[in-house]
Each structure stands twice: as structure tokens, then as C-alpha cells.
């Protein structure tokens, strides 16, 4: 992906992530019945080493739901949730986690599916785009392995990578989860050109 985005183009990307993330925050609030707010969207370009120093250690073990998106907005969403993030879920979910791991994993996958589709719907409506998500896939691995694989799958081979991330807070406590977007090579440049045309 090019690193030659103008300031106005970066602002457009932030607006897309902000609008989509706002829908996600609303959905989380409705699902758990708690106040939720979102930080200003995190958009920056890093080397992989900087990602793992700034965002999350490469060796940290996480659950991740991978959801492919096709259409005008093409790429892959990663919903990352670590053990402390799971502990922020309500007591009923934690009881499920203790009793039935398979059922708990299904719940995490469905939650990610809902959140990604809410994110997509907001962007589609705002920018008059056409896009759809594919079947979600749950993975458990180290953060570094999952993130690197996502970039390779989207043909992003550069030493520098863009990180598009939303963080959420539930009742003033940070929920240790985040939604990342890994764009398909060249997709954002094409999309920005079409939106600004």
C-alpha cells in the first residue's frame, strides 16, 4: 500500500473507520446492556517491529475472528480478543466459557460477525458502496502470526504496514479487544479515488 496519502485522504480514512466503529460501539452497548464508547480511530503506518512494540506484543496469545470482505471495500477484518478481554464479558458468557469451549468459541465468532457487519453497513450507507462479508473463521494463535498472515493473504508485502484499529471502552474500563482492517493491495487507493471523483 502506498504511503503517499494526503492529509485529506487520511482524514477520509479516519472518517470511514470512525463511522464504522461508532456503529460497533452502539452494537456492543446493546448486546451487553452497558455504556460503551470508542477511542479516536487509530490509523498509522509502522514497520512490523513497531507494530509489536506499539500495538501488541507479537508473542501475545489471542483469539481472532477473521472475516473476509469483498466488493468496493476489499480486505480482511480481524476481531482480536485476549483473555483479559474475554473476562470483560458478562458472567453468563464466562460460565459458558468454563462449561463448553466449543459453544464459547461460537459466541465469540457470532459477536465478531455482528460487529463487522454493523461496521460495514455504516460505511456502505455513508459512502454509497457495495460490499459484503464472507463466513467468519475463528483462529487462536500469537498476535504476530495472525497479523502477518492477514497482510500476506491480502498481498501486502511491504516492510511498512498500515494499522486501522478501533478500541472500545465498557463503562470506563478498556475492553481488551480491537477491530483491525487489513485492506487488499491497492484497494484503499482505488476506493479513495472513486469517492473523491
Domain boundaries, the chain: 7-196
| CA torsion through residues 98, 79, 146, 175, sign | negative
Runs of H (alpha helix) within the chain: 7-32, 48-54, 83-86, 91-99, 101-127, 143-153, 187-196
Instruction: Give the whole-angstrom CA distance, residue 121 versus residue 32.
Output: 21
For residue 133, what is the enclosing H or E element? Answer: strand 131-133
For residue 32, the tally of other CB atoms under 10 A from its CB is 17
Q: What is the pTM of this model?
A: 0.80
CB 48 within 8 Å of CB 54: no
- pLDDT band of residue 192 (cuts 50, 70, 90) is confident
b/e string for 93-132 if b means 16 or more Cβ within 10 A? Answer: beebbeeeeeebbebbbebbbbbbbbbbebbbeebebebe
The angle at the Cα of 181, spanning 7 to 114, to the nearest 5 degrees, equals 130
Supply the pLDDT for residue 171.
79
Both ends of the chain: CA-CA distance in Å?
A: 20
- pLDDT band of residue 90 (cuts 50, 70, 90) is very low
5-9, 20-24, 157-161: lowest mean pLDDT where? 157-161
Instruction: Give the whole-angstrom CA distance, residue 160 versus residue 7.
Output: 18
* Tens-place pLDDT, residues 114-157: 888 888 888 888 888 889 999 999 998 999 999 999 988 988 87
What CATH topology corresponds to 7-196?
Chemotaxis protein chec (3.40.1550)
CB 36 within 8 Å of CB 116: no
* Tens-place pLDDT, residues 20-62: 888 888 887 887 778 888 888 788 888 888 889 988 899 998 8
Closest CA relative to residue 20, chosen from 110, 123, 112, 111: 123
65-69, 76-80, 83-87, 190-194: lowest mean pLDDT where? 83-87
Supply the pLDDT for residue 29.
82
Closest CA relative to residue 143, chosen from 173, 165, 158, 159: 165
Amino acid at each position: 500500500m502506498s504511503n503517499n496519502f494526503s492529509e485529506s485522504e487520511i482524514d477520509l480514512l479516519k472518517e470511514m473507520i470512525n463511522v464504522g466503529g461508532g456503529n460497533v460501539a452502539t452494537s456492543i452497548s446493546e448486546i451487553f446492556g452497558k455504556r460503551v464508547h470508542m477511542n479516536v480511530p487509530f490509523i498509522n503506518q509502522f514497520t512490523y517491529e513497531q507494530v509489536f512494540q506499539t500495538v501488541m506484543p507479537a508473542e501475545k496469545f489471542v483469539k481472532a475472528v477473521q472475516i473476509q470482505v469483498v466488493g468496493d471495500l476489499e480486505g480482511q477484518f480481524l476481531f482480536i480478543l485476549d483473555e483479559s478481554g474475554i473476562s470483560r464479558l458478562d458472567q453468563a458468557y464466562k460460565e459458558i466459557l468454563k462449561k463448553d469451549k466449543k459453544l464459547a468459541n461460537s459466541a465469540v465468532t457470532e459477536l465478531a460477525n455482528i460487529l463487522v457487519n454493523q461496521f460495514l453497513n455504516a460505511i456502505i450507507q455513508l459512502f454509497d458502496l457495495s460490499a459484503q462479508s464472507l463466513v467468519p473463521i475463528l483462529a487462536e494463535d500469537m498476535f504476530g502470526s495472525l497479523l502477518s498472515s492477514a497482510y500476506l493473504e491480502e498481498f501486502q508485502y511491504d516492510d511498512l504496514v498500515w494499522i486501522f484499529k478501533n478500541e472500545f471502552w465498557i463503562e470506563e474500563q478498556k475492553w481488551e479487544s480491537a477491530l483491525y482492517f487489513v485492506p487488499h493491495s491497492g484497494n484503499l487507493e482505488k476506493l479513495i479515488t472513486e469517492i473523491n471523483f
